[in-house]
Structure 1
Amino acid sequence: MDILTLVGLLAGVAIVSIAMVANASVTTFLNLPGLAIVLGGTLAVTLIKFRLRSVIGSVRLAMVTVFTETSEKPLDLIREVDTLARVVRKDGILGLESHETGNDFLRKGINLCVDGHPPEFIEQALVEEMQQRMDRYEVAERVFRGMGESAPAIGMLGTLVGLVQMLNTLDDPSSIGPAMAVALLTTLYGAFIAQLIALPLADKLQLKAEDERRNMTLITTSIQNMVQGQNPRVITELLSAYVTPSEQATLGREPGG
Protein backbone atom coordinates (compact mmCIF):
# COMPACT_ATOMS: atom_id res chain seq x y z
CA MET A 1 0.00 0.00 0.00
CA ASP A 2 1.19 3.53 -0.81
CA ILE A 3 0.85 4.66 2.80
CA LEU A 4 2.28 8.15 2.22
CA THR A 5 -0.52 9.08 -0.18
CA LEU A 6 -3.15 8.06 2.35
CA VAL A 7 -1.30 9.75 5.22
CA GLY A 8 -0.88 12.96 3.22
CA LEU A 9 -4.54 13.05 2.21
CA LEU A 10 -5.83 12.36 5.72
CA ALA A 11 -3.32 14.75 7.31
CA GLY A 12 -4.27 17.58 4.94
CA VAL A 13 -7.97 17.12 5.56
CA ALA A 14 -7.42 16.78 9.31
CA ILE A 15 -5.21 19.88 9.65
CA VAL A 16 -7.64 22.10 7.75
CA SER A 17 -10.62 20.65 9.62
CA ILE A 18 -8.99 21.19 13.03
CA ALA A 19 -8.10 24.77 12.10
CA MET A 20 -11.70 25.39 11.01
CA VAL A 21 -13.29 24.14 14.25
CA ALA A 22 -10.60 25.47 16.61
CA ASN A 23 -12.69 28.50 17.56
CA ALA A 24 -16.03 27.45 16.13
CA SER A 25 -18.37 24.50 15.96
CA VAL A 26 -18.66 22.07 13.08
CA THR A 27 -22.07 23.41 12.19
CA THR A 28 -20.51 26.82 11.52
CA PHE A 29 -18.82 25.41 8.42
CA LEU A 30 -21.65 23.10 7.40
CA ASN A 31 -23.98 24.58 4.82
CA LEU A 32 -25.94 22.03 2.86
CA PRO A 33 -27.10 24.36 0.04
CA GLY A 34 -23.54 25.56 -0.53
CA LEU A 35 -22.18 22.02 -0.41
CA ALA A 36 -24.84 20.87 -2.86
CA ILE A 37 -23.91 23.68 -5.25
CA VAL A 38 -20.21 22.76 -5.24
CA LEU A 39 -20.53 18.97 -5.30
CA GLY A 40 -23.44 18.89 -7.71
CA GLY A 41 -21.98 21.57 -9.96
CA THR A 42 -18.53 19.93 -10.06
CA LEU A 43 -20.07 16.56 -10.88
CA ALA A 44 -22.27 18.10 -13.57
CA VAL A 45 -19.35 19.88 -15.23
CA THR A 46 -17.26 16.69 -15.08
CA LEU A 47 -20.02 14.70 -16.77
CA ILE A 48 -20.30 17.37 -19.46
CA LYS A 49 -16.56 17.22 -20.13
CA PHE A 50 -16.16 13.44 -20.02
CA ARG A 51 -18.14 10.28 -20.74
CA LEU A 52 -19.73 8.54 -17.76
CA ARG A 53 -17.66 5.39 -18.30
CA SER A 54 -14.50 7.52 -18.35
CA VAL A 55 -15.40 9.12 -15.03
CA ILE A 56 -16.24 5.78 -13.40
CA GLY A 57 -13.12 4.14 -14.85
CA SER A 58 -10.96 7.03 -13.67
CA VAL A 59 -12.24 6.79 -10.10
CA ARG A 60 -11.63 3.04 -10.09
CA LEU A 61 -8.14 3.47 -11.50
CA ALA A 62 -7.33 6.11 -8.89
CA MET A 63 -8.51 3.90 -6.04
CA VAL A 64 -6.47 0.96 -7.34
CA THR A 65 -3.24 2.77 -8.18
CA VAL A 66 -3.02 5.91 -6.04
CA PHE A 67 -3.43 4.21 -2.68
CA THR A 68 -1.50 1.04 -3.55
CA GLU A 69 2.10 0.54 -4.60
CA THR A 70 1.51 -1.30 -7.88
CA SER A 71 4.74 -0.38 -9.67
CA GLU A 72 7.76 -2.56 -9.09
CA LYS A 73 11.19 -1.06 -8.54
CA PRO A 74 13.30 -1.03 -11.72
CA LEU A 75 16.14 -2.72 -9.81
CA ASP A 76 13.94 -5.71 -8.99
CA LEU A 77 12.77 -5.95 -12.60
CA ILE A 78 16.34 -5.84 -13.91
CA ARG A 79 17.33 -8.68 -11.59
CA GLU A 80 14.33 -10.74 -12.70
CA VAL A 81 15.12 -10.04 -16.35
CA ASP A 82 18.73 -11.07 -15.78
CA THR A 83 17.49 -14.41 -14.46
CA LEU A 84 15.20 -14.83 -17.48
CA ALA A 85 17.99 -13.95 -19.90
CA ARG A 86 20.22 -16.62 -18.37
CA VAL A 87 17.43 -19.18 -18.70
CA VAL A 88 17.02 -18.27 -22.38
CA ARG A 89 20.77 -18.43 -22.86
CA LYS A 90 20.85 -21.94 -21.39
CA ASP A 91 17.54 -23.55 -22.37
CA GLY A 92 16.19 -21.36 -25.16
CA ILE A 93 12.94 -19.38 -25.26
CA LEU A 94 10.85 -22.38 -24.21
CA GLY A 95 12.73 -22.39 -20.93
CA LEU A 96 10.66 -19.37 -19.91
CA GLU A 97 7.46 -21.40 -19.91
CA SER A 98 7.83 -22.45 -16.27
CA HIS A 99 8.76 -18.99 -14.97
CA GLU A 100 6.24 -17.39 -12.61
CA THR A 101 6.09 -13.60 -12.28
CA GLY A 102 3.82 -11.17 -10.50
CA ASN A 103 4.16 -8.55 -13.24
CA ASP A 104 1.30 -8.99 -15.72
CA PHE A 105 3.05 -7.05 -18.48
CA LEU A 106 6.18 -9.19 -18.19
CA ARG A 107 3.99 -12.30 -18.12
CA LYS A 108 2.37 -11.20 -21.37
CA GLY A 109 5.78 -10.73 -22.96
CA ILE A 110 6.91 -14.17 -21.81
CA ASN A 111 3.76 -15.79 -23.17
CA LEU A 112 4.24 -14.11 -26.54
CA CYS A 113 7.82 -15.39 -26.68
CA VAL A 114 6.89 -18.93 -25.67
CA ASP A 115 4.10 -19.01 -28.26
CA GLY A 116 6.72 -18.48 -30.94
CA HIS A 117 5.58 -15.14 -32.33
CA PRO A 118 8.09 -13.19 -34.45
CA PRO A 119 10.01 -10.36 -32.70
CA GLU A 120 8.18 -7.69 -34.71
CA PHE A 121 4.78 -8.95 -33.54
CA ILE A 122 5.92 -9.20 -29.93
CA GLU A 123 7.22 -5.65 -29.97
CA GLN A 124 4.01 -4.36 -31.58
CA ALA A 125 1.80 -6.16 -29.04
CA LEU A 126 3.78 -4.86 -26.07
CA VAL A 127 3.95 -1.29 -27.36
CA GLU A 128 0.20 -1.31 -28.05
CA GLU A 129 -0.52 -2.62 -24.56
CA MET A 130 1.68 0.10 -23.07
CA GLN A 131 -0.02 2.82 -25.10
CA GLN A 132 -3.51 1.70 -24.09
CA ARG A 133 -2.52 1.64 -20.43
CA MET A 134 -0.97 5.11 -20.67
CA ASP A 135 -4.13 6.39 -22.35
CA ARG A 136 -6.20 5.18 -19.38
CA TYR A 137 -3.88 6.98 -16.98
CA GLU A 138 -4.06 10.14 -19.06
CA VAL A 139 -7.86 10.14 -19.08
CA ALA A 140 -7.95 9.57 -15.30
CA GLU A 141 -5.51 12.42 -14.73
CA ARG A 142 -7.57 14.73 -16.95
CA VAL A 143 -10.76 13.82 -15.09
CA PHE A 144 -9.34 14.68 -11.67
CA ARG A 145 -7.56 17.76 -12.96
CA GLY A 146 -10.84 18.84 -14.51
CA MET A 147 -12.54 18.41 -11.14
CA GLY A 148 -9.81 20.48 -9.55
CA GLU A 149 -10.34 23.26 -12.06
CA SER A 150 -14.14 23.17 -11.88
CA ALA A 151 -14.63 23.05 -8.10
CA PRO A 152 -13.26 26.56 -7.33
CA ALA A 153 -15.18 28.02 -10.28
CA ILE A 154 -18.41 26.43 -9.08
CA GLY A 155 -17.59 27.75 -5.61
CA MET A 156 -17.40 31.25 -7.03
CA LEU A 157 -20.80 30.75 -8.66
CA GLY A 158 -22.15 29.77 -5.26
CA THR A 159 -20.60 32.90 -3.82
CA LEU A 160 -22.41 35.03 -6.39
CA VAL A 161 -25.67 33.22 -5.61
CA GLY A 162 -25.22 33.94 -1.91
CA LEU A 163 -24.41 37.59 -2.51
CA VAL A 164 -27.47 38.06 -4.69
CA GLN A 165 -29.64 36.45 -2.02
CA MET A 166 -28.10 38.69 0.62
CA LEU A 167 -28.60 41.88 -1.40
CA ASN A 168 -32.23 40.98 -2.07
CA THR A 169 -32.97 40.52 1.63
CA LEU A 170 -31.16 43.44 3.24
CA ASP A 171 -34.45 44.53 4.77
CA ASP A 172 -34.61 41.23 6.68
CA PRO A 173 -31.58 40.99 8.98
CA SER A 174 -32.33 37.37 9.89
CA SER A 175 -31.75 36.21 6.30
CA ILE A 176 -28.43 37.98 5.80
CA GLY A 177 -26.48 35.43 7.82
CA PRO A 178 -27.58 32.31 5.87
CA ALA A 179 -27.07 34.07 2.55
CA MET A 180 -23.58 35.20 3.55
CA ALA A 181 -22.78 31.66 4.69
CA VAL A 182 -23.64 30.33 1.24
CA ALA A 183 -21.53 33.08 -0.33
CA LEU A 184 -18.41 32.34 1.70
CA LEU A 185 -18.63 28.61 2.30
CA THR A 186 -19.09 27.65 -1.34
CA THR A 187 -15.73 29.23 -2.13
CA LEU A 188 -14.24 27.33 0.81
CA TYR A 189 -15.75 24.03 -0.35
CA GLY A 190 -14.49 24.54 -3.91
CA ALA A 191 -10.93 25.30 -2.78
CA PHE A 192 -11.01 22.38 -0.31
CA ILE A 193 -12.04 19.85 -2.96
CA ALA A 194 -9.58 21.17 -5.53
CA GLN A 195 -6.46 21.69 -3.44
CA LEU A 196 -6.74 18.78 -1.00
CA ILE A 197 -8.35 16.05 -3.12
CA ALA A 198 -8.71 16.45 -6.88
CA LEU A 199 -5.44 18.12 -7.90
CA PRO A 200 -3.18 16.02 -5.62
CA LEU A 201 -4.80 12.85 -6.98
CA ALA A 202 -4.26 14.08 -10.55
CA ASP A 203 -0.57 14.71 -9.82
CA LYS A 204 -0.18 11.29 -8.21
CA LEU A 205 -1.83 9.62 -11.21
CA GLN A 206 0.66 11.39 -13.46
CA LEU A 207 3.53 10.11 -11.30
CA LYS A 208 2.14 6.56 -11.31
CA ALA A 209 1.80 6.71 -15.10
CA GLU A 210 5.44 7.73 -15.44
CA ASP A 211 6.48 4.80 -13.24
CA GLU A 212 4.39 2.40 -15.29
CA ARG A 213 5.76 3.72 -18.58
CA ARG A 214 9.33 3.36 -17.33
CA ASN A 215 8.80 -0.22 -16.18
CA MET A 216 6.95 -1.24 -19.33
CA THR A 217 9.64 0.29 -21.52
CA LEU A 218 12.25 -1.60 -19.51
CA ILE A 219 10.37 -4.87 -19.98
CA THR A 220 9.81 -4.28 -23.70
CA THR A 221 13.53 -3.62 -24.20
CA SER A 222 14.37 -6.74 -22.21
CA ILE A 223 12.04 -8.99 -24.19
CA GLN A 224 13.40 -7.68 -27.49
CA ASN A 225 16.98 -8.42 -26.46
CA MET A 226 16.15 -11.86 -25.06
CA VAL A 227 14.39 -12.87 -28.28
CA GLN A 228 17.49 -11.80 -30.18
CA GLY A 229 19.64 -14.01 -27.94
CA GLN A 230 21.59 -11.15 -26.44
CA ASN A 231 24.13 -11.88 -23.70
CA PRO A 232 22.56 -11.51 -20.20
CA ARG A 233 25.43 -9.33 -19.04
CA VAL A 234 24.91 -6.99 -21.99
CA ILE A 235 21.17 -6.80 -21.27
CA THR A 236 21.87 -5.90 -17.64
CA GLU A 237 24.33 -3.22 -18.70
CA LEU A 238 21.77 -1.80 -21.11
CA LEU A 239 19.03 -1.74 -18.48
CA SER A 240 21.26 -0.22 -15.80
CA ALA A 241 20.37 3.19 -17.25
CA TYR A 242 16.95 2.83 -15.58
CA VAL A 243 18.41 2.90 -12.04
CA THR A 244 20.52 5.31 -10.02
CA PRO A 245 24.35 5.01 -9.93
CA SER A 246 24.22 3.63 -6.39
CA GLU A 247 21.74 0.94 -7.49
CA GLN A 248 23.87 0.13 -10.53
CA ALA A 249 26.65 -0.87 -8.16
CA THR A 250 24.40 -3.55 -6.63
CA LEU A 251 23.66 -5.22 -9.96
CA GLY A 252 25.47 -8.48 -10.41
CA ARG A 253 27.82 -8.43 -13.37
CA GLU A 254 28.69 -12.06 -13.79
CA PRO A 255 30.57 -13.01 -16.94
CA GLY A 256 28.26 -13.92 -19.79
CA GLY A 257 28.14 -17.37 -21.30
Structure 2
Amino acid sequence: MDIATVIGLIGGLGLIVTTIFLGGNVVGFVDIPSAVVVFGGTVATAFIMFPLNVIIGTVKVIMKTVFFKSTDPHQIIRKIIELADTARRESLVALEKVSVEDPFMKKGVMLVADGTEESLVRAVLETEIKFMKQRHLQGQGVLKGMGTMAPAFGMIGTLIGLVNMLQNLSDPASIGPAMAVALLTTFYGAVLANVVFLPMATKLEGRSAEDQLYMEIMLEGVLSIQRGDHPSIVKEKLMAFLSPAMRESSS
Protein backbone atom coordinates (compact mmCIF):
# COMPACT_ATOMS: atom_id res chain seq x y z
CA MET A 1 0.00 0.00 0.00
CA ASP A 2 1.20 3.50 -0.84
CA ILE A 3 0.93 5.21 2.52
CA ALA A 4 1.73 8.63 0.99
CA THR A 5 -1.47 8.56 -1.09
CA VAL A 6 -3.54 7.56 1.93
CA ILE A 7 -1.98 10.29 4.08
CA GLY A 8 -2.57 12.86 1.34
CA LEU A 9 -6.24 11.96 0.82
CA ILE A 10 -7.04 11.75 4.52
CA GLY A 11 -5.03 14.88 5.27
CA GLY A 12 -6.54 16.96 2.46
CA LEU A 13 -10.13 15.93 3.12
CA GLY A 14 -9.54 16.07 6.88
CA LEU A 15 -8.35 19.68 6.73
CA ILE A 16 -11.41 20.68 4.71
CA VAL A 17 -13.80 18.90 7.08
CA THR A 18 -12.03 20.37 10.13
CA THR A 19 -12.33 23.87 8.70
CA ILE A 20 -16.04 23.31 8.11
CA PHE A 21 -16.51 22.10 11.69
CA LEU A 22 -14.68 25.14 13.02
CA GLY A 23 -17.11 27.29 11.05
CA GLY A 24 -19.92 25.70 13.03
CA ASN A 25 -22.40 24.92 10.24
CA VAL A 26 -21.63 21.42 8.98
CA VAL A 27 -25.14 20.73 7.71
CA GLY A 28 -24.92 23.73 5.43
CA PHE A 29 -22.17 22.01 3.43
CA VAL A 30 -24.26 18.93 2.70
CA ASP A 31 -26.51 19.02 -0.34
CA ILE A 32 -27.29 15.78 -2.18
CA PRO A 33 -28.54 17.34 -5.45
CA SER A 34 -25.35 19.41 -5.72
CA ALA A 35 -23.18 16.34 -5.16
CA VAL A 36 -25.16 14.38 -7.75
CA VAL A 37 -24.77 17.13 -10.36
CA VAL A 38 -21.01 17.39 -9.88
CA PHE A 39 -20.02 13.76 -9.45
CA GLY A 40 -22.67 12.32 -11.75
CA GLY A 41 -21.98 14.89 -14.45
CA THR A 42 -18.22 14.32 -14.23
CA VAL A 43 -18.59 10.55 -14.58
CA ALA A 44 -21.11 10.93 -17.41
CA THR A 45 -18.74 13.20 -19.31
CA ALA A 46 -15.92 10.69 -18.84
CA PHE A 47 -18.08 8.11 -20.65
CA ILE A 48 -18.45 10.56 -23.53
CA MET A 49 -14.73 11.34 -23.65
CA PHE A 50 -13.37 7.77 -23.43
CA PRO A 51 -14.37 4.25 -24.59
CA LEU A 52 -16.12 1.98 -22.10
CA ASN A 53 -13.18 -0.42 -21.75
CA VAL A 54 -10.86 2.48 -20.89
CA ILE A 55 -13.27 3.71 -18.19
CA ILE A 56 -13.52 0.24 -16.67
CA GLY A 57 -9.75 -0.18 -16.81
CA THR A 58 -9.30 3.13 -15.02
CA VAL A 59 -10.82 1.63 -11.87
CA LYS A 60 -7.83 -0.72 -11.64
CA VAL A 61 -5.49 2.15 -12.44
CA ILE A 62 -6.95 4.25 -9.62
CA MET A 63 -6.45 1.38 -7.19
CA LYS A 64 -2.78 1.39 -8.19
CA THR A 65 -2.37 4.82 -6.59
CA VAL A 66 -3.20 3.27 -3.21
CA PHE A 67 -2.48 -0.46 -3.39
CA PHE A 68 0.97 -0.36 -4.94
CA LYS A 69 3.96 -2.54 -4.21
CA SER A 70 7.13 -0.60 -4.88
CA THR A 71 9.85 -2.36 -6.86
CA ASP A 72 13.43 -2.36 -5.59
CA PRO A 73 15.73 -1.50 -8.53
CA HIS A 74 18.70 -3.03 -6.69
CA GLN A 75 16.85 -6.33 -6.58
CA ILE A 76 16.32 -6.10 -10.36
CA ILE A 77 20.01 -5.40 -10.91
CA ARG A 78 21.08 -8.26 -8.62
CA LYS A 79 18.85 -10.65 -10.55
CA ILE A 80 20.29 -9.54 -13.89
CA ILE A 81 23.85 -9.93 -12.56
CA GLU A 82 22.93 -13.43 -11.41
CA LEU A 83 21.65 -14.21 -14.91
CA ALA A 84 24.80 -12.74 -16.49
CA ASP A 85 26.96 -14.91 -14.25
CA THR A 86 24.96 -18.03 -15.19
CA ALA A 87 25.25 -17.20 -18.89
CA ARG A 88 29.05 -16.79 -18.64
CA ARG A 89 29.66 -19.91 -16.54
CA GLU A 90 27.32 -22.14 -18.54
CA SER A 91 25.62 -20.76 -21.64
CA LEU A 92 22.74 -18.59 -22.82
CA VAL A 93 20.66 -21.75 -23.21
CA ALA A 94 21.06 -22.40 -19.48
CA LEU A 95 18.98 -19.27 -18.79
CA GLU A 96 15.86 -21.25 -19.71
CA LYS A 97 16.18 -23.13 -16.40
CA VAL A 98 16.59 -20.02 -14.25
CA SER A 99 13.49 -18.82 -12.39
CA VAL A 100 12.53 -15.24 -13.33
CA GLU A 101 9.45 -13.75 -11.68
CA ASP A 102 9.06 -10.48 -13.57
CA PRO A 103 7.11 -11.17 -16.82
CA PHE A 104 8.96 -8.50 -18.81
CA MET A 105 12.40 -9.71 -17.76
CA LYS A 106 11.36 -13.32 -18.32
CA LYS A 107 10.26 -12.54 -21.88
CA GLY A 108 13.64 -10.96 -22.64
CA VAL A 109 15.58 -13.82 -21.05
CA MET A 110 13.61 -16.44 -23.00
CA LEU A 111 14.23 -14.58 -26.26
CA VAL A 112 17.96 -14.51 -25.54
CA ALA A 113 18.01 -18.16 -24.52
CA ASP A 114 16.26 -19.08 -27.78
CA GLY A 115 19.05 -17.43 -29.77
CA THR A 116 17.01 -14.47 -31.04
CA GLU A 117 19.00 -11.71 -32.72
CA GLU A 118 19.79 -8.68 -30.57
CA SER A 119 17.93 -6.27 -32.84
CA LEU A 120 14.77 -8.36 -32.60
CA VAL A 121 15.06 -8.72 -28.81
CA ARG A 122 15.38 -4.95 -28.52
CA ALA A 123 12.44 -4.38 -30.87
CA VAL A 124 10.15 -6.75 -28.95
CA LEU A 125 11.00 -5.31 -25.54
CA GLU A 126 10.83 -1.68 -26.68
CA THR A 127 7.39 -2.38 -28.16
CA GLU A 128 6.34 -3.76 -24.77
CA ILE A 129 7.53 -0.57 -23.08
CA LYS A 130 5.80 1.61 -25.67
CA PHE A 131 2.40 0.03 -25.20
CA MET A 132 2.78 -0.02 -21.42
CA LYS A 133 3.20 3.75 -21.59
CA GLN A 134 0.11 4.05 -23.81
CA ARG A 135 -2.00 2.04 -21.36
CA HIS A 136 -0.85 4.21 -18.48
CA LEU A 137 -1.51 7.39 -20.44
CA GLN A 138 -5.11 6.31 -20.98
CA GLY A 139 -5.69 5.98 -17.24
CA GLN A 140 -4.01 9.30 -16.58
CA GLY A 141 -6.11 10.87 -19.33
CA VAL A 142 -9.35 9.75 -17.72
CA LEU A 143 -8.36 11.19 -14.34
CA LYS A 144 -7.14 14.44 -15.89
CA GLY A 145 -10.37 14.68 -17.90
CA MET A 146 -12.45 14.18 -14.76
CA GLY A 147 -10.28 16.70 -12.94
CA THR A 148 -11.04 19.22 -15.68
CA MET A 149 -14.77 18.52 -15.82
CA ALA A 150 -15.49 18.44 -12.07
CA PRO A 151 -15.04 22.23 -11.59
CA ALA A 152 -16.97 22.80 -14.84
CA PHE A 153 -19.95 20.87 -13.51
CA GLY A 154 -19.56 22.71 -10.24
CA MET A 155 -20.02 25.95 -12.16
CA ILE A 156 -22.98 24.49 -14.07
CA GLY A 157 -24.62 23.54 -10.79
CA THR A 158 -23.98 27.02 -9.44
CA LEU A 159 -25.59 28.60 -12.50
CA ILE A 160 -28.63 26.34 -12.09
CA GLY A 161 -28.89 27.41 -8.47
CA LEU A 162 -28.58 31.09 -9.36
CA VAL A 163 -31.30 30.81 -11.98
CA ASN A 164 -33.62 29.19 -9.44
CA MET A 165 -32.75 31.88 -6.91
CA LEU A 166 -33.42 34.74 -9.33
CA GLN A 167 -36.82 33.27 -10.12
CA ASN A 168 -37.77 33.64 -6.45
CA LEU A 169 -36.58 37.14 -5.64
CA SER A 170 -40.00 37.93 -4.21
CA ASP A 171 -38.90 36.19 -1.00
CA PRO A 172 -35.77 38.04 0.27
CA ALA A 173 -35.33 35.62 3.17
CA SER A 174 -34.67 32.72 0.78
CA ILE A 175 -31.94 34.48 -1.21
CA GLY A 176 -29.10 33.78 1.26
CA PRO A 177 -29.77 30.02 1.67
CA ALA A 178 -30.37 29.64 -2.06
CA MET A 179 -27.06 31.36 -2.85
CA ALA A 180 -25.25 29.09 -0.38
CA VAL A 181 -26.66 25.96 -1.99
CA ALA A 182 -25.76 27.27 -5.44
CA LEU A 183 -22.14 27.80 -4.41
CA LEU A 184 -21.86 24.28 -2.96
CA THR A 185 -21.58 22.73 -6.40
CA THR A 186 -18.53 24.88 -7.13
CA PHE A 187 -17.10 23.77 -3.80
CA TYR A 188 -17.70 20.07 -4.55
CA GLY A 189 -16.17 20.39 -8.01
CA ALA A 190 -13.04 22.11 -6.68
CA VAL A 191 -12.55 19.47 -3.98
CA LEU A 192 -12.96 16.53 -6.37
CA ALA A 193 -10.60 18.03 -8.93
CA ASN A 194 -7.84 19.28 -6.64
CA VAL A 195 -7.89 16.68 -3.87
CA VAL A 196 -8.79 13.52 -5.78
CA PHE A 197 -8.61 13.43 -9.59
CA LEU A 198 -5.65 15.66 -10.50
CA PRO A 199 -3.35 14.51 -7.65
CA MET A 200 -4.08 10.88 -8.57
CA ALA A 201 -3.27 11.59 -12.22
CA THR A 202 0.06 13.11 -11.15
CA LYS A 203 0.80 10.11 -8.92
CA LEU A 204 0.11 7.77 -11.86
CA GLU A 205 2.53 9.77 -14.03
CA GLY A 206 5.22 9.10 -11.45
CA ARG A 207 4.31 5.41 -11.26
CA SER A 208 4.48 5.14 -15.05
CA ALA A 209 7.88 6.83 -15.20
CA GLU A 210 9.13 4.48 -12.49
CA ASP A 211 7.85 1.40 -14.32
CA GLN A 212 9.44 2.60 -17.55
CA LEU A 213 12.80 3.13 -15.83
CA TYR A 214 12.79 -0.38 -14.39
CA MET A 215 11.82 -1.90 -17.73
CA GLU A 216 14.64 -0.01 -19.45
CA ILE A 217 17.06 -1.36 -16.84
CA MET A 218 15.85 -4.88 -17.63
CA LEU A 219 16.13 -4.23 -21.36
CA GLU A 220 19.72 -3.06 -21.12
CA GLY A 221 20.53 -5.90 -18.74
CA VAL A 222 19.12 -8.56 -21.05
CA LEU A 223 21.02 -7.16 -24.05
CA SER A 224 24.24 -7.01 -22.01
CA ILE A 225 23.80 -10.66 -21.11
CA GLN A 226 23.28 -11.52 -24.75
CA ARG A 227 26.49 -9.70 -25.69
CA GLY A 228 28.39 -11.72 -23.10
CA ASP A 229 29.38 -8.76 -20.91
CA HIS A 230 31.11 -9.56 -17.64
CA PRO A 231 28.74 -9.33 -14.61
CA SER A 232 30.76 -6.43 -13.16
CA ILE A 233 30.38 -4.50 -16.41
CA VAL A 234 26.66 -5.29 -16.46
CA LYS A 235 26.35 -3.91 -12.93
CA GLU A 236 28.11 -0.67 -13.83
CA LYS A 237 25.87 -0.20 -16.87
CA LEU A 238 22.67 -0.73 -14.90
CA MET A 239 23.69 1.35 -11.88
CA ALA A 240 24.07 4.29 -14.27
CA PHE A 241 20.26 4.34 -14.60
CA LEU A 242 19.88 5.15 -10.89
CA SER A 243 20.27 8.47 -9.13
CA PRO A 244 23.43 9.02 -7.03
CA ALA A 245 21.39 8.65 -3.83
CA MET A 246 19.99 5.30 -4.95
CA ARG A 247 23.45 4.07 -5.95
CA GLU A 248 24.79 4.92 -2.49
CA SER A 249 21.90 3.08 -0.81
CA SER A 250 23.03 -0.15 -2.45
CA SER A 251 26.53 0.04 -1.04
TM-score, with structure 1 as normaliser: 0.90
Give 2:131's aligned residue. Answer: 132
Give 1:171's aligned residue. Answer: 170
Paired amino acid for 1:201:
M
* Offset, 1:104: 2.1
Partners of 1:30 and 1:109 lie apart in 2 by 54
Give 1:32's aligned residue. Answer: 32
User: 1:85-234 counterparts in 2 under 5 A?
Assistant: 85-173=84-172, 175-177=174-176, 179-234=178-233
Give 2:75's aligned residue. Answer: 76
Paired amino acid for 2:237:
L
Q: Contact 1:71–1:208 at 8 Å: present in 2 too?
A: no
Deviation string, structure 1 residues 205-229 (Cα, Å, up to 9, x no partner): 0000100111111111111111121
* Offset, 1:110: 1.8
Partners of 2:207 and 2:245 lie apart in 1 by 23
Partners of 2:23 and 2:248 lie apart in 1 by 55
Deviation string, structure 1 residues 142-164 (Cα, Å, up to 9, x no partner): 11011111111110111111111
Partners of 1:99 and 1:205 lie apart in 2 by 32
Q: 1:242 to 1:39 in 2, by over 3 A?
A: same
Unaligned runs of 5+ in 2: none
SS in 1 for 2:179: helix
Partners of 1:108 and 1:67 lie apart in 2 by 28
SS in 2 for 1:220: helix
Partners of 1:92 and 1:160 lie apart in 2 by 72
* Offset, 1:25: 4.5
* Offset, 1:167: 0.7
Q: 1:251 to 1:196 in 2, by over 3 A?
A: closer
Deviation string, structure 1 residues 101-128 (Cα, Å, up to 9, x no partner): 3322112222222333332222221111
Q: CA RMSD for the aligned pairs?
A: 1.9
Q: 1:174 to 1:227 in 2, by over 3 A?
A: same
Partners of 2:7 and 2:245 lie apart in 1 by 29
Q: Contact 1:158–1:182 at 8 Å: present in 2 too?
A: no
SS in 2 for 1:22: helix
Unaligned runs of 5+ in 1: 253-257
Give 2:50's aligned residue. Answer: 50
Q: 1:246 to 1:182 in 2, by over 3 A?
A: closer
TM-score, with structure 2 as normaliser: 0.92
Give 1:10's aligned residue. Answer: 10
Paired amino acid for 1:124:
A
Range 143-152 or range 104-113, more displaced: 104-113
Q: Contact 1:79–1:251 at 8 Å: present in 2 too?
A: no
Deviation string, structure 1 residues 41-99 (Cα, Å, up to 9, x no partner): 11122111111211111221221x21133442322211221111111111111222232
* Offset, 1:191: 0.3
Partners of 1:193 and 1:123 lie apart in 2 by 42
Q: Contact 1:159–1:184 at 8 Å: present in 2 too?
A: yes
Paired amino acid for 1:117:
T
Partners of 1:154 and 1:113 lie apart in 2 by 53
* Offset, 1:168: 0.5
Partners of 2:22 and 2:230 lie apart in 1 by 65
* Number of residue pairs the alignment of both structures matches: 251
